[in-house]
A and B are shown apart, each in its own frame.
Chain A
Amino acid sequence: MLEVRGIEVSYGEFLALRGISFTVQEGELVTIIGANGAGKSTILRAVMGLVKCRKGKIFFNEEDITSSPTHHRARLGISLVPEGRKIFPDLTVAENLFMGAYIQEDRRAVQSRMEEAFSLFPVLKERQNQVGKTLSGGEQQMLAIARALMSRPRVILMDEVSLGLMPIYVEETFKVIENLHRQGVTILLVEQNARKALQAANRGYVLETGEIVLSDQAKKLALNPQVKKAYLGGT
């Protein structure tokens, strides 16, 4: 479904991604783990079209989208839960969700998705008329995920969704991710919390300073001594 072939991304002189290749099949939950600054977010930003690739190609359902503008990729069915959540601080919860469904012009369809989002995250229903910045960090994360689902994406890119959350919200967030996966949503998950990510995922890639150094079934990666030592806190 999503195929990335040898992409390179640089910020000025600094080469952030040095020839990254990976694939995500329909219905899969794939994770990319790696340390802070390894380039994980940059990969997702490149897939979404928020940074330009110097080299390499990105295909979505066989279509070359390497030079498509971001809004075009969104219309093809790619959706991003950005790092730092990036909810619209001065829009209400309901308006944030409406923005997520921007590409859907049928108001009735948007309304029914809104109801689904509320049943998935009841707290958002209570807060629907509050502006985004008044939500707690955990609630904002729920909103960011719900918003990204509003477009009924074919693949959802999740960037560090557990970062900065209280442990109870981390649990909840991963429950939501696993539920979505079970419902058949294709997910590419980028995480510092490697233990959780590998538990949830089908396959995983390990990223070090802009290069993929390992790739395998998530279960096998979790048992890999190198991975254990570097990302899972020893034994």
Chain B
Amino acid sequence: MLWQQLANGIAIGSVYALISLGLTMVYGILRILHVAHAGIYALGAYVGLFSFRLIGNFWLSLIVGMAGAAIAGYFVERLLYTPLLHLPRIAPLIVSIGLFTALEEAFRIVAGPHTLAYNARVGLGDLSIGSFHLTETQILILLVTLAILIFLWAFLTKTRTGLAMRACAQDPETTSSFGVNVSAIIAVNFLIGSAMAGAAGVLIGVYDNQVWPTMGSIPAYKALAIVVLGGLGNIPGTVLASIVVGLAETFFIGVLAIPFPRDAVAFVAMILVLMFKPYGLLGKA
């Protein structure tokens, strides 16, 4: 029972990590709260679903969903955020909220207001050891998240571009003085962060077997809480915070059966962290 809840919590936490990482990376480099990131997440789910209906292969639809999200994220950065960077940060924040609402409406117009089933055969099969049971989609989430996190870690620590991206988050001006095209680094940052959100959209679409226009609205604010919990811009902190929130939700509701709204857990955690450790779980003053 305990192991079961642990696995469930980690699976949910993994999806939170995929969404929140893009948000924290964007904040780290541009100091913008990218609320529309959750719209990109939903977009990834829709693109994945429609491509699945066309091609009938889940893994291909996952890749198409990630690519669709990445391209959308890229254009959001180029067309909306970069032209506004010279203004106070409230301007891109307002644009981001507006874009998020517009995306939800666009999904409604294009795909209809009802939930659509993402009934994909992944081809992994369930796993049962005694009373411990992992569904196929949970295994899928764990595998995909692990693969993406390993890729992200290797990219950030082992490649020149990854190193430049970390340097940029610390000091973009000095980074540019070493020959780094900061604008290109920001674009790569959005491509990667948005692809991860797109993957999360597809995974949740399959996990819940549904895709709907406002599926991003709860992740939109929950991811903000997680990013604050992890320490804004802190990548390992964000992964940790995501898992903590996933586990806390599962334990409070699943094990202790406390009648407490599930989606409030992240915010209670955020409030506690802001009171006692304002730089986040792994943050230093």
Contact check, B177 vs A91: say whether CB atoms are below 8 A apart.
Answer: no
Contact check, A70 vs B163: say whether CB atoms are below 8 A apart.
Answer: no
Contact check, B173 vs A99: say whether CB atoms are below 8 A apart.
Answer: no
The distance in angstroms between the C-alpha atoms of A95 and B166, with both chains bound, is 10
Q: Which A residues lie within 8 Å of B163 (CB)?
A: 91, 95, 98-99
Cβ 8 A contact of B164, one of A74, A86, A102, A105: A102
Cβ 8 A contact of B179, one of A75, A89, A91, A147: A75
Contact check, A102 vs B174: say whether CB atoms are below 8 A apart.
Answer: no
CB of B186, distance to nearest CB on chain A (Å): 13
Contact check, A71 vs B170: say whether CB atoms are below 8 A apart.
Answer: no
Task: Please encode chain B, from 174 to 191, with 1 for each CB lying within 8 Å of some chain A CB and 0 for all others.
Answer: 111111111000000000
Q: A75-B179, A151-B179 are in contact. Are A91 and B167 (CB under 8 A)?
A: yes
CB of A157, distance to nearest CB on chain B (Å): 9
Contact check, A86 vs B171: say whether CB atoms are below 8 A apart.
Answer: yes
Q: Which B residues lie within 8 Å of A75 (CB)?
A: 179
Q: Tally of A-B residue pairs with Cβ under 8 A?
A: 65
Q: Which B residues lie within 8 Å of A95 (CB)?
A: 163, 166-167
The distance in angstroms between the C-alpha atoms of A74 and B166, with both chains bound, is 19
The distance in angstroms between the C-alpha atoms of A71 and B168, with both chains bound, is 13
The distance in angstroms between the C-alpha atoms of A163 and B167, with both chains bound, is 24
B114 within 8 A of A: no
A100 within 8 A of B: yes
A165 within 8 A of B: no
Contact check, B178 vs A103: say whether CB atoms are below 8 A apart.
Answer: yes
Contact check, B167 vs A88: say whether CB atoms are below 8 A apart.
Answer: yes
Cβ 8 A contact of B178, one of A89, A90, A102, A105: A102
Q: Which A residues lie within 8 Å of B179 (CB)?
A: 71, 74-75, 102-103, 151
Contact check, B166 vs A91: say whether CB atoms are below 8 A apart.
Answer: yes
CB of B91, distance to nearest CB on chain A (Å): 19
Nearest A residue to B184 via CB reads A71
Q: Which A residues lie within 8 Å of B173 (CB)?
A: 50, 70
Nearest A residue to B160 via CB reads A102
Nearest B residue to A100 via CB reads B178
Q: Which A residues lie within 8 Å of B181 (CB)?
A: 69, 71
Contact check, B164 vs A71: say whether CB atoms are below 8 A apart.
Answer: no
A80 within 8 A of B: yes
Q: Which A residues lie within 8 Å of B177 (CB)?
A: 48, 50, 70-71, 74, 79-80, 82
Residue of B167, B171, B177, B180 ringed by the most chain A CB atoms within 10 A:
B177
Q: Which A residues lie within 8 Å of B180 (CB)?
A: 71, 74, 99, 102
Task: Please encode chain B, from 189 to 226, with 1 for each CB lying within 8 Å of some chain A CB and 0 for all others.
Answer: 00000000000000000000000000000000000000
Q: Which B residues lie within 8 Å of A90 (CB)?
A: 166, 170
Nearest A residue to B170 via CB reads A88
Nearest B residue to A104 via CB reads B179
Q: 8 Å CB contacts to B: which residues of A109-155?
A: 147, 151
Contact check, A91 vs B176: say whether CB atoms are below 8 A apart.
Answer: no
Task: Please encode chain A, from 48 to 85, with 1 for each CB lying within 8 Å of some chain B CB and 0 for all others.
Answer: 10100000000000000000011100110001101000
The distance in angstroms between the C-alpha atoms of A82 and B164, with both chains bound, is 18
Q: 8 Å CB contacts to A: which residues of B71-100?
A: none
Cβ 8 A contact of B176, one of A74, A88, A105, A151: A74
Q: 8 Å CB contacts to A: which residues of B230-272?
A: none
Contact check, B170 vs A151: say whether CB atoms are below 8 A apart.
Answer: no
The distance in angstroms between the C-alpha atoms of A93 and B170, with both chains bound, is 14
The distance in angstroms between the C-alpha atoms of A173 and B229, with both chains bound, is 42
The distance in angstroms between the C-alpha atoms of A75 and B177, with both chains bound, is 9
Q: Which B residues lie within 8 Å of A70 (CB)?
A: 173, 176-177
CB of B165, distance to nearest CB on chain A (Å): 11
The distance in angstroms between the C-alpha atoms of A91 and B166, with both chains bound, is 8
Q: Which B residues lie within 8 Å of A88 (CB)?
A: 166-167, 170-171, 174-175
Contact check, B182 vs A71: say whether CB atoms are below 8 A apart.
Answer: yes
User: Chain B: residues with CB nearer than 8 A to chain A?
Assistant: 160, 163-164, 166-167, 170-171, 173-182
User: Chain A: residues with CB nearer than 8 A to chain B?
Assistant: 48, 50, 69-71, 74-75, 79-80, 82, 86, 88-91, 95, 98-100, 102-103, 105, 147, 151
A–B Cβ pairs within 8 angstroms, 26 of them = A50-B173, A69-B181, A70-B173, A70-B176, A71-B178, A71-B179, A71-B182, A74-B180, A79-B177, A80-B177, A82-B177, A86-B171, A88-B167, A88-B170, A88-B171, A90-B166, A90-B170, A91-B167, A91-B170, A99-B164, A99-B167, A100-B178, A102-B160, A102-B164, A102-B178, A105-B160
A69-B181, A71-B182, A75-B179 known; 12 other A-B pairs, CB under 8 Å? A48-B177, A69-B176, A70-B176, A79-B177, A82-B177, A86-B171, A88-B175, A91-B170, A99-B167, A102-B178, A103-B179, A147-B178
Rank and list the top 8 A-B pairs by shortest CB-CB distance, nearest first. Answer: A74-B179, A103-B179, A70-B176, A86-B174, A102-B178, A80-B177, A71-B181, A88-B170
